Amino acid sequence: MSDLFFFGTLRHLPLLELVLGRSGDALKAQPAELPGHGVYQVADQPFPAIEERQGATADGVLVRDLSPADLDALNFYEGGFGYTLKPVAVHLADGSTAAAEVYFPEPGLWQAAEPWDLAAWVADWGALSLRAAEEVMAYHGRMSAEEVARSFPSIRRRAAAWLAGQARPGDGVHDLSRDVIVHTHKRAHLNFFAMEEMDLQFRRFDGSMSPVLNRSASMAGHATVVLPYDPVRDQVLLVEQFRAPPFMMGDAHPWMWEPVAGVIDPGESAEETARREAVEEAGVTIQHLEAVAQGYPSSGALGEYIHIFIGIADLSDVSGGGGVAGEGEDIRSKTLSYEEMMAGIDAQTYQDMPLITAALWLSRHRDRLRAEHS
Q: Looking at the annotation, which residues are catalytic?
A: 327
Distance CA 89, CA 97 (A): 6
Measured between alpha carbons, how far is 171 from 29 in angstroms, rounded to an integer? Answer: 44
The CA distances from residue 184 to 155, 179, 199, 201, in Å, are: 20, 16, 5, 11
CB 259 within 8 A of CB 358: yes
Q: How far apart are CA 217 and CA 148, in angstroms?
A: 19
DSSP 8-state assignment for residue 140: B
String of DSSP letters for 245-264: HHHHTT-S--EEEE-EEEEP
Selection from 27, 190, 1 nearest residue 10 by Cα: 27
Rounded CA gap, 337 and 230, in Å? 9
* Concatenated DSSP letters of 274-311: HHHHHHHHH-----EEEEEEEE-SSTTTEEEEEEEEEE
Non-local (6+) Cβ contacts of 123 within 8 A are none
Half-sphere exposure of 198 (CA within 13 A, CB side): 12
Q: Residue 129: which H helix or E strand, with range?
A: helix 127-138
